[in-house]
Amino acid sequence: AQKVTQAQTEISVVEKEDVTLDCVYETRDTTYYLFWYKQPPSGELVFLIRRNSFDEQNEISGRYSWNFQKSTSSFNFTITASQVVDSAVYFCALPNSGNTPLVFGKGTRLSVIA
Amino acid sequence: NAGVTQTPKFRVLKTGQSMTLLCAQDMNHEYMYWYRQDPGMGLRLIHYSVGEGTTAKGEVPDGYNVSRLKKQNFLLGLESAAPSQTSVYFCASSTRAYLAPYEQYFGPGTRLTVT
C-alpha cells in the first residue's frame, strides 16, 4: 500500500534560518504524483505543490523549494530564510493508487521563532 | 465563489446521539472526500465519492455513513456517536482526474466533541 513518512514531528527554528522538511514515500505505482499541503494555525489546509514522478528537477517558488529524489523515494521541502508566517503543520501526500484520494503523512509542525 | 464550506463549524454530542455534517462545494467538482484529523495521526480518509450517487470507503469508515445525492453536496453521518469520534473533520473536493490526480480543495473543518 502507499505510505508517506514524515519522520520529523516538530521542528523549531529561529527566523531567517533555512529549514528542510523531510518526506519519504512508498508506492507500488511506476508513475505517481506527490503533494505538499500547509495547515496554518487557523486550521485550513492549503495546497502548495503537485509533482509528477517523471520530473525530477527541483521546483522553486519564492522562498520555497522542493527536492524530488526518486532513488531515495524522497520529496523534501525547504523553506529559505524562514519567517514567522511559515509556522504551520506541513503535510506530504500521494494518491492511494492512480487518481484516487490522497494518503497523507502525519505532518511536521514547524515553529518559526522571531 | 465560496469554495468548500462545512456546516456546522463546532458541535458537542453526547455518546449515542446522531448527527450529520454537511459539505458543499461550488466548483462543480466531481470528487468529494471526508477526512478526520487527530493529533499525531495526520489526515485519514473516511469515505469518498467520485460522482453523484456513488460513495466508497476509505481508511477509517466504521461508525460513519455518507450520501452524495447532489453533485455539490456530500453528507457525513454519525448514527451513534462515540467518544472515539471526537476529532476535526475535513471535507475536500477535486476535479475529475483523467490522466493525473488534481489537488484537493479543503473546507475549514468541523470540530466535533463526543462526551
pLDDT in tens, chain B (115 residues): 789 999 999 999 999 999 999 999 999 999 999 999 998 888 999 999 999 999 999 999 999 999 999 999 999 999 999 999 999 999 999 987 776 778 899 999 999 999 9
Using CA atoms, how far apart are residues A61 and A41, in angstroms rounded to an integer?
Answer: 22
Cell for A21? Answer: 522538511
Search chain A and give the residue with CA nearest B40: A106
Backbone region of residue B16 per phi and psi (left: phi > 0; alpha: psi in -120 to 50; beta: other values): left
* Cβ–Cβ contact B97 with A under 8 A: yes
The pLDDT tens digits for A5-51 are: 999 999 999 999 999 999 999 998 888 899 999 999 999 999 999 99
The secondary structure of chain B, three-state, reads CCCEEEECCEEEECCCCCEEEEEEECCCCCEEEEEEEECCCEEEEEEEEEECCEEEECCCCCCCEEECCCCCEEEEEECCCCHHHCEEEEEEEECCCCCCCCCCEECCCEEEEEC
pLDDT of residue A15: 97
Cis peptide before B8 (omega within 30 of 0): yes
The pLDDT tens digits for A49-85 are: 999 888 888 888 899 999 999 999 999 999 999 999 9
* B:67-96 residues touching chain A, CB 8 A cutoff: 88, 90, 92
User: Are the Cβ atoms of B100 and A52 closer than 8 angstroms?
Assistant: yes
Query: Between A45, A95, A106, which is nearest B101 by CB?
Result: A95
Instruction: Decide: A84 and A12 in contact? Cβ < 8 Å.
Output: no
User: Are the Cβ atoms of A95 and B33 closer than 8 angstroms?
Assistant: no
Chain B residues with CB-CB distance to A106 below 8 A = 40-42
Instruction: Decide: B68 and B74 in contact? Cβ < 8 Å.
Output: yes
Non-local (6+) Cβ contacts of B12 within 8 A are: B112, B113, B114, B115
User: Are the Cβ atoms of A107 and B101 closer than 8 angstroms?
Assistant: no
